[in-house]
Structure formats: structure tokens, C-alpha cells
Structure 1
Amino acid sequence: MDDMLGPGEVRELHDVLASAVPSVQWEAVLAAGERLEPLSLRGRTDVVADALVDALGSYPAAASAFRMGLANPAFTGWMLWPVTEAAVTLALRSGEDEDFDDALALLAELTPRLTSEFAIRRLLREQPERALEIIRTWTSHPDQHVRRLASEGTRTYLPWAVRVPQLTARPELTLPILDAMHNDPEVYVRRSVANHTNDLARHAPDLVLETAARWQQTGTPGSTWVVRHALRTLIKKGNPGALELMGFAPAQVSISDLHAESEKVALPGELAFGFLLTNTGDVPAKLAVDYAVHYVKASGSTAEKVFKLATVELSAGESRKLTGRHAFRQMTTRRHYAGVHALELQVNGVRHGRLEFDVSI
């Protein structure tokens, strides 16, 4: 992903801006493109953003240049991440409320070309109440990218982005944004609302359950979809309130014949497993069937992660065979270590059975 912002993109950025505003000396921006090779995407963004800041010097100059750049369709893609960061840096440096407000407007103008969700975080950290007052107006914006920015940019745990402690401390601050867009006509926006709400569930589960219950009462397909995805972490944790909202009542079940095709997995590889699930109660049951993998950590201890398997409905006394496959491969987001791992099943939040297997690297 680092190569998404390389010398070629920086040269194109230089050409777009030099054509739009030839009076500015853009050579430092072009030179920045030659210093990217050993850096991560974030590091490359910072180098190019610093060059833009030096070339432009003030927020009004930057805002004017970037808005003129928008007239060129080539002003798009990952070259815009340093553009948004430079605009925010200069707006905060000026200390003027007028520049702060206009920087938010500029990010909304730029976000259809490339999301401004990362740069907006520093404005939120500086003046959260002022920023949110403006961001809330975007929930009715005609452009879906701007509406999504209202939700995505204010997520508590937005990947790749700096944290905004005020949003964690006061999770209710972003509820007006989510309430306004939970039934948005675009799935692109609703997915962001669901992910944002799922973030809140990590530290404000009661607030999320109360909110999801309100949304569910609307009965619209959009709201139903958002609620299901917003509650996914609480469902995996076996939260009784979340399970009840999704129609998963306590049930009497049994698990038998839990087995794996092989008790050894060599990376890259997968664990294929199966079992028999039986509704031992005397009423039909709607069941959320998940499984937890207990991964071996570098220290030798284990840490679990829960994964979705299936949703099934069984009549009283009915049994059904279920199977699953879980892949093991080294990833940037998870490092695997050799040792004895384990798999547990989870049905409507209750753990059943345990299967141990050996992973070799």
C-alpha cells in the first residue's frame, strides 16, 4: 500500500498544482517525491504535506490553490491525502476560526476525490464541538461521499487515523450524525454508520443497544441492515441485549461430534472442522452459531477472536451438520506463532465444546 503514493503520484500532483497556480514555487513538492522510497504510506504523506505547507505558507493560499486544482479531473486519488493534511496544518497554525471552518468546508469539497477522513481528525481534536456543529450539517448533503465523511471521519477507532479522546470520553456526541443517516439510501453511507456504531459498542454498549432498539422500531430495510452490522461485535461477545434485539433467544442445544479433518495445520493452511448441532428444547430456535479461535501469542499465552459461522433455525429436536474452514496465513494484521491452538463453538452467546490443534510455521 505504500506505493499508492509514489514519485509518479507526486509528479502528477506537482503538475496539477503548477498548472492551476503557476505563481507558486512548487519545486519542493517535486523534490519530496524523491524522498519517499523507504517510508510507509503515512510517512510519505507527511513528507509531501510538509512540502506543500512550505510552498504555500498560509491557509488562504492553500485553500485557493487546492480549490483551483479541483477544476482538473487529474486532481484525485492518493495524492490528495497530503493535500488534506497540509490544509489542516495551515488552518490550525493560523488559529483563526474562519480558517478552521473553511478547512472543514474544503475537506468536504475534496472528499469525493479521496476521503478526507484522516485529516479531519486533527480538527476534531482541536475543537470537537465546533467541528461537530459543522459536520452534522453534512448528514443531508446531496453527495454521498460527504455524508459518509460525517460518519467515517468521526469514528472512535477509525483505522489508520489518530485518536480523538473527546469522542471516546463522550460517545453521545456523534449520535445525532448516526441518527440522521442510519437509514441513508446509499449502502456506502449505511456501512459507515454501522461501523461507527460498532466502534461505540466497544466502550459504550448500553448506548449502542438503546440506539439500535430505536432504529429497529422504524422497520425499514436500511435500518434493519445497519442494526445487524452495528451489533456484530456485541453478538460475538454474547451480549444478551444484542442477541435479544436480533431475535436470538436463550435456547437449549447440544453439540456432538466436534472434529477436525486434521489436528495439525502448517502455514499457510486451513483448519477444516465439523459438528452436529441439535435443538434439545421443545420449541423452535433461531441460533447464531459462531466460533472462537484461541491464537498462540509470542509470549506463549493465548488470545481469542470470535468469527461468524452461520445463522440457523431448528425445529424442536432437529439436528443439523455444520462445517467450517478457517485459514491460517501470516498477515500484516495478525502474526501467527507455532503451538497448540484451540477452537470453541458459541451458540447464542454460550460456549460449547473445545477442539485443540497444532499450528506449525
Structure 2
Amino acid sequence: MAEPFKNLINAGTVARAGQHLQRVWPGFDRPRFEQSAGHGLEALEFKARAMQLADALEATLPPDFEAAADLLEASLAPPIPLDAQGEPSALSAAQSEAGLSGWVVWSMGDYVARRGMTDVPRALRCLHALTQRFSAEFAIRPFIQRHPDATLTTISTWVNDPSAHVRRLVSEGSRPRLPWGLRLQALVADPAPTLPLLRALQDDPSAYVRRSVANHLNDIAKDHPELVADWVHQHLLTASPARTALLRHASRSLIKRGHAPTLSAWGLGQGLRGTVSLSLSATRAAVGGEIALAVSLASSSPEPQDLLVDYVVHHVRANGSTSPKVFKGWKLTLGPGEQRTLGKRHSLRPVTTRVLYPGPHRIELQVNGQTLAQADFELLN
């Protein structure tokens, strides 16, 4: 069995934090810090562990924020190096010996968010340092929420920072709907303030940064689909392969939804010229098993057709209603007059993000965003 994720913050994490904070400040009350941060740690879940460590920092660091920020920065390991593709490398034992990095920095960032609101410039300089040893994407969000002008003005200067960690923070920290993070409701309503940042970063040399930009645009697409469709139309025209990959990743939710302007941007705007059918391997299937889909396509066009074929499973919910979930199918070019058969096995095993309930389920087939065929089956316990 895999090690629980929460154990990434453990007694060793607390001890290393105490060691390095005492190294840079001999007067640091290490016993008090370690007792407070480690109390009942095994019983806590992941975020609660991080927040308890932040509580201990708040109780033991100097009350003067600038002095505390100086100590946090002095306790850090060298920045996490990036590999040839611009992705973060694994932490080494030497880095751990040299100073703090990794998950403990989450707690340090939370401390900065709690105590740094009265000195935003100093707090942001500290987050600039912290993000190079883990990520300050959670910690910077309260500053964007409470001091949007000052924070966005500062991070706009970071789009040319030498560190890819910092450039990524510009995009990741300002995502409207960052998972696990504070929702930035003002940017959900109006993402305009971050668009210049994304424009400056979408051709970043680091894939690490570009992936964040794609996820940021995908966040925006949930509330402003036309804006992202227009962005793709505009920025795909002269796109490099790297930018093209970014825009496709940014479009993924809209493509799954069959959003016509987005499909059009990718040359998938026309409906199928021809016929399609969908059949299932069984009319009944059990939770934990699988069901096979068979798709038959027949072209009636004298021209090739670029097709995106996805399928939607309407899962039964606990209250008896249904909830649609789009699954990736096939991307293909159907030749003139061609007939083609496609097959896929769909798993019915429960996953952590979805509970499967028995009852009648429907599968719909989408071709270039249009629902053209469907089939039903009964899911059994």
C-alpha cells in the first residue's frame, strides 16, 4: 500500500525546521517550536499538519515581521534546480542538509500570509524566495485578494525573473480557481488583470511555466468560455509547437464540453458528414467491472474530415439524478467515403473522485461536440 500523502509532513519535517531555524537564530526556542508543531501530528490530516506547523512558527518567530522574514529566508536551502526541460528536480540529501525546502515551505508561506499583510512589499520578497524552494502559490493568494493592485503590480515584474519557479508563481498564484487554494472571486468574475501576465508567459522557455499558463486559461474557461475561445483563435495563428501544446491543454475542458467556437479554432467546427452508431458489449454490468464501446463511422463526404470523438457517461447519483462526465475517445481523420470501427473498454471501478451507484446509465457519443448516438446499460452492485 502506498504511503499516505499526509506523511510528507512528519516528525522529521518538524525536526529539520527546528534545526535550521536555530542554525540561523541561536536564540530560537527550538524545544517549544518542536513540541507545538509535533503535538498529535500523527492524528492530523495533511493540511492540518501544515497549518499546525505554521501555528508553531507564529508562536516562536520574532514579533517583528521583517526580522522573522529575514530568518525564514536565511534558513532556506539553495533553490530547487530544474532539469533540461525546465522541470523541478527531486530534492537531494545535500539540499536538505543545507537548509529548508519542500513541504515545510507550505507552512512558512502560510506564516507570511498571516503576518505579512501590514508590510506587503517585504512579504512578497519573502514569497519570491520561498517559491524557489517549494511553491508560494497558496500563500500569495490572500495578498491578491486583499491587496490586488500592489500584489499584481509586483508580480507583473516577475514575468522576466531569471527563476522559472518565480515566473510560474505569477501564473499559478493568480489562477482564479486553484485546487486547494483560496478562490479569487474577483478574478473569477473578471480575469482581465491577469491576461497580460499570461500573454507574457505563454511562450516561456520552461514547460513548468507553460503548463501553469494552460491551467490558468482552463480555469478562466469555466466562467468565460468565449474569452478563451477567442484567445485560442488569436494565439494559434503563429503558434510554435510548444505554444500549440499549451493552447490545446488550455482548451481541454471546452473541447470536452463541445464548445463550438473552441472546436472551430482547432478545425473541428463542422459536424460529421456521414453516419455513426454506438453499441455496448452488454446491457448490464457490475460495479468494479467494465463495459466495451464499439463505434462505427461512415463518411459521406468527398473530403477528409478531422474528427474528435468523445463519449459522455451519465452516472447515477445518490439521489437518483444523473451527472454527465466526458471521457476522451479518439482524434482522427476520416477519409473520403471511409468506414471505420473504433473500440474502447470503459472501466466501472470506483475512484476517489467518483462514487458509482447502481441504476440505469446512458452513454452518449459526441463527434466534434455534437451528440450523434447513445446507448444504455444497467449498472449493478
Cα distance in 2, alignment partners of residues 172 and 11 from structure 1: 44
Structure 1 residue 66: Cα displacement:
0.9
Distance change (3 Å), C-alpha of 1:245 and 1:50: same
Structure 1 residue 150: Cα displacement:
0.8
Distance change (3 Å), C-alpha of 1:271 and 1:10: farther
- Residues 119-130 of structure 1 mapped to structure 2, 5 A cutoff: 119-130=139-150
* Matching of residue 84 in structure 1 with residue 109 in structure 2: yes
Cα distance in 1, alignment partners of residues 200 and 21 from structure 2: 37
- Residues 218-229 of structure 1 mapped to structure 2, 5 A cutoff: 218-229=238-249
Select between 140-149 and 276-285 the one with higher mean Cα deviation. Answer: 276-285
Alignment partner, residue 154 of structure 2: 134
Cα distance in 1, alignment partners of residues 172 and 296 from structure 2: 41
Question: What is the aligned length?
Answer: 355
Distance change (3 Å), C-alpha of 1:25 and 1:172: same
Question: Which of 42, 46, 49 in structure 1 is aligned with 2:51?
Answer: 46
Letter in 2 for 1:302: T
Alignment partner, residue 103 of structure 1: 123
Q: Deviations over 1:66-119 (max 9, x none)?
A: 111114732111111111101121102xx2xxx212211211211122111111
Contact 1:279–1:315 (8 Å) recurs in 2: yes
Q: In structure 2, list runs of 5 or more residues that go unmatched.
A: 79-94
Contact 2:229–2:262 (8 Å) recurs in 1: yes
Structure 1 residue 172: Cα displacement:
0.8
Question: Which of 71, 75, 96 in structure 2 is aligned with 1:69?
Answer: 75
Alignment partner, residue 65 of structure 2: 59
- Residues 234-249 of structure 1 mapped to structure 2, 5 A cutoff: 234-249=254-269
Q: In structure 1, list runs of 5 or more residues that go unmatched.
A: none
Question: Which of 1, 15, 19 in structure 2 is aligned with 1:11?
Answer: 15
* Matching of residue 25 in structure 1 with residue 29 in structure 2: yes
Alignment partner, residue 254 of structure 1: 275
- Residues 150-229 of structure 1 mapped to structure 2, 5 A cutoff: 150-229=170-249
Alignment partner, residue 332 of structure 1: 352
- Kindly report the root-mean-square deviation, in angstroms, between the aligned alpha carbons of the 2 structures: 1.6
Contact 1:62–1:87 (8 Å) recurs in 2: no
Contact 1:184–1:222 (8 Å) recurs in 2: no
* Matching of residue 357 in structure 1 with residue 360 in structure 2: no
Letter in 1 for 2:261: G
Q: Deviations over 1:222-258 (max 9, x none)?
A: 22111111111111111111011101131323212x2
Question: Which of 292, 297, 300 in structure 1 is aligned with 2:312?
Answer: 292
Letter in 2 for 1:117: E
TM-score, normalization by structure 1: 0.94
Cα distance in 2, alignment partners of residues 137 and 355 from structure 1: 54
Contact 2:361–2:378 (8 Å) recurs in 1: yes
Q: Deviations over 1:194-215 (max 9, x none)?
A: 1110110111112212222221
Contact 2:66–2:122 (8 Å) recurs in 1: no
TM-score, normalization by structure 2: 0.89
Select between 27-36 and 260-269 the one with higher mean Cα deviation. Answer: 260-269
Distance change (3 Å), C-alpha of 1:38 and 1:248: same
Cα distance in 2, alignment partners of residues 340 and 180 from structure 1: 48
Cα distance in 2, alignment partners of residues 18 and 192 from structure 1: 35
Cα distance in 2, alignment partners of residues 124 and 219 from structure 1: 31
